[in-house]
Amino acid sequence: MLSILDIFRVGIGPSSSHTVGPIRIGVRFMARLVREGCMADVARITARLEGSLALTGVGHATPRAVAYGLLGFAPETIDARAAEAALADLHANKAFDVAGHVIAFDPETDIIFDYETLSDIHPNGMELTAYGKTGAVISRQMYYSTGGGFIASRRQLLTPLPDDIVPTTVTVPYEFGSAAELLEICAAQNMTIAQVVYANEDAARPRAVTDAALDNIVAVMMACIERGLETPGVLPGGLNVNRRAPKLWNKLNNAPPSNERESLFDWLNLYAMAVNEENAAGGQVVTAPTNGAAGIIPAIIKHYCSRVDGNIIPEKARIFLLTAGGIGLLYKQRASISGAEMGCQGEVGVACSMAAGGLAAVWNGTTQQVESAAEIGMEHNLGLTCDPVGGLVQIPCIERNAIGASKAVNAARLALHSDDVMRVSLDQVIETMRQTGLDMSTKYKETSQGGLAVNVVAC
Ligand code: SF4
């Protein structure tokens, strides 16, 4: 089983597949050169981007991410100022050094955008090549950024996985490869989804370490909301999109107290947009389960897992994350959370489903109601395309997170008001999402070749 800490990763914007993944690929390639003992012979490195990484890489800041990875910055710990300075040096010198050994890499010419090649195994391909002094290839590796910051080598993607369970070195007490199996375990053990996931996490590390990691995830999410609320201005990338969260924040704070029922939408919109505007600006966010869909889960936590004074209630937030994370694992293991494979149903749709399930659990729903909430959260996002204008994670992404947050609440409400077994199961809707994603034209899968991307002129 994967860990839910693989689903919720701290990283930087604007994209988990196009920014976080390529950084991790760069780090992994450099570690491989060291492991193989050939780093001292490397004179130059090039990167070739395929498929969606080539088509929307510029808007998603992939070239910057490739450079950060080769320079040794990890997404979880990146210091934005140090990384910017190192990148400026790289552009000036067209080379960087690894423990005193100089390697040529010009970000302008050594990152090749291969628009023609579309891999048969994953649309986010990235090949790194290390050359020696004579120009001979020393090492060439093909990697894939598979969504949510996950990466895989070609060999890993081609190896079939038994029963949809991704093998790791940790043996967990309650392996599950489907929602049906998860519900069976809950029923047999008289446990909630959160308790099952907790027990599995306990196999990897002490409970206190898991709790600290979950609390840190929430803290990073809340800090992201705060920065988003306080940072006005225009988002980078050339679309001239204004940040809207600070204005709305002021408006809501200065408005006279009211019992207007619709104000729920205002607050959810505000928090979700604050996160996604930070993400679009390259700020620190948590994949939930991806960067593009990073606003929905923090918005729900902020609104429903906090006290009146705004402070988070850790126990509630943990139950929310454990449940939402367990649901996220099902999508990751049975389908995909990559916009380039599934369209936006695999990003915002999955986040909505995870949030709906998590919220139903926080509201003390039964295991069946939690499953139903997650199912409803996805059912009404099926077919959602990915067509970002200008290849930037801004339009429709920022508003889409706001809409996704209120949809998640509505899905949880619908599920909690029903005791019936739903006609559509979570497994069925995940499989439907997968098939719909496979059938969807590549125009609508993070290539900016269709939909809003061609009907809204980016200038
Ligand atoms: S449209 Fe959805 S999947 Fe595509 S970049 Fe935006 S958030 Fe991600």
The string of pLDDT tens digits covering residues 257-301 is 888 989 999 999 999 999 999 999 999 999 999 999 999 999 999
Residue ranges of the chain assigned to CATH 3.30.1330.90: 11-158
| The predicted structure's pLDDT at residue 120 | 84
What is the DSSP code (8-state) at residue 18? I
Helix residue ranges per DSSP H, 281-421? 296-304, 314-334, 339-342, 348-362, 367-379, 397-416
Predicted pLDDT at 164: 45
The pLDDT tens digits of the residues spanning 67-96 come to: 999 999 999 999 988 999 999 999 999 999
Find tokens 């606003």 and name the residue: 295
Strand positions, DSSP E, 210-310: 284-286
Nearest residue to 288 (alpha-carbon basis) of 306, 275, 273? 275
What's the gap in Å between 389 CA and the centre of ligand 1?
10
- Of the candidates 275, 198, 146, 152, which has an alpha carbon nearest to the alpha carbon of residue 5? 198
Q: Ligand 1 centroid to 210 CA: how many Å? A: 30
* Residue nearest to ligand 1 atom 5, measured at CA: 393
Ligand 1, residues 56, 273, 342, 344: which to mutate, most atoms within 8 A of Cβ? Answer: 344
**Does the CB atom of residue 393 touch ligand 1 within 6 A?**
yes
Look at residue 165 in the predicted model and tell me its pLDDT: 45
- Rounded to the nearest 5°, which phi and psi values hold at 445? -125, 70
Q: Which residue has the tokens 């949030």?
A: 355
- Relative to beta strand 137-147, strand 44-50 is unpaired
Residue type, 433: M
DSSP assignment letter at 16: I
Phi, psi of 128 (to 5 degrees): -115, 135
Strand partners, 96: 103
Q: How far is Cα 72 from Cα 356, in angstroms, rounded to an integer?
A: 37
Q: Which alpha helices (DSSP H) does 117-192 contain, by range? A: 154-158, 179-189
CB 69: neighbour CB atoms within 10 A?
26
CA of 376 to the centre of ligand 1 (A): 20
Tens digit of pLDDT at every position of the chain (459 positions): 789 999 999 999 999 999 999 999 999 999 999 999 999 999 999 999 999 999 999 999 999 999 999 999 999 999 988 999 999 999 999 999 999 999 999 999 999 999 999 888 899 999 999 999 999 999 999 999 999 999 998 888 887 555 444 456 689 999 999 999 999 999 999 999 999 999 999 999 999 999 999 999 999 999 999 999 999 999 999 999 999 999 999 999 999 888 898 999 999 999 999 999 999 999 999 999 999 999 999 999 999 999 999 999 999 999 999 999 999 999 999 999 999 999 999 999 999 999 999 999 999 999 999 999 999 999 999 999 999 999 999 999 999 999 999 999 999 999 999 988 889 999 999 999 999 999 999 999 999 999 999 999 766
CA-closest residue to ligand 1 atom 4: 386
Listed in order, strand segments (DSSP E) in 63-178 are 95-98, 101-104, 111-114, 125-131, 137-147, 150-153
**At residue 381, what is the residue type?**
N
pLDDT at res. 258: 81
Residue nearest to atom 6 of ligand 1 (CA): 397
Q: Is 70 helix (H, G, I), strand (E, B) or coil?
A: helix
Q: 292 alpha carbon to ligand 1 midpoint, in Å?
A: 5
- Can you give the pTM of this predicted structure? 0.94
- Name the residue type at position 344: C
- Cα separation, 130 vs 119, in Å, equals 21
Atom of ligand 1 nearest to the CA of 290: 8
Measuring CA to CA, which residue among 10, 7, 20, 17 is closest to residue 391? 17
| Two tokens, residue 331 | 């999508």
Nearby residues of 124 by Cβ (< 8 Å), 6 or more positions away: 17, 18, 21, 50, 51, 52, 53, 144, 145, 146, 147, 338, 340
Pick the CATH number of 11-158 from 3.30.1330.90, 3.30.365.10, 3.30.830.10, 3.30.70.100: 3.30.1330.90
Helix (H, G, I), strand (E, B) or coil at 308: coil
Encoded tokens for 324: 């939402």
- For residues 23 and 73, the answer to whether their CB atoms sit within 8 Å is yes
Ligand 1 pocket check for 386: Cβ under 6 Å = yes
| Ramachandran bin of 237, using left for φ above 0, alpha for ψ from -120 to 50, beta for the remaining angles | left
Amino acid at position 266, single letter = D
Q: Kind of pairing, strands 111-114 and 44-50?
A: parallel
- For ligand 1, atom 8, the nearest C-alpha belongs to 292
